[in-house]
Structure 1
Amino acid sequence: MAEVFDIDEACTYLKLAKPTLYKYVRVGAIPAFKMGRVWRFHKQVLENWVKQRVETDTTARTKRSRLAKSH
Structure 2
Amino acid sequence: MIAGLTGPVFGPYIFNWFRINNFLGRGIALGSASHAIGIAKAFEYGEQTVSISSVAMTLSALSGSVFAPLIVWLFYL
Q: What is the TM-score with the length of structure 2 in the denominator?
A: 0.42
Tell which structure's C-alpha radius of gyration is larger: 1
Counting helix residues as a fraction of each chain, which structure ranks higher? 2
Q: What is the TM-score with the length of structure 1 in the denominator?
A: 0.44
Higher RCO (Cα < 8 Å, 6 or more apart) = 1
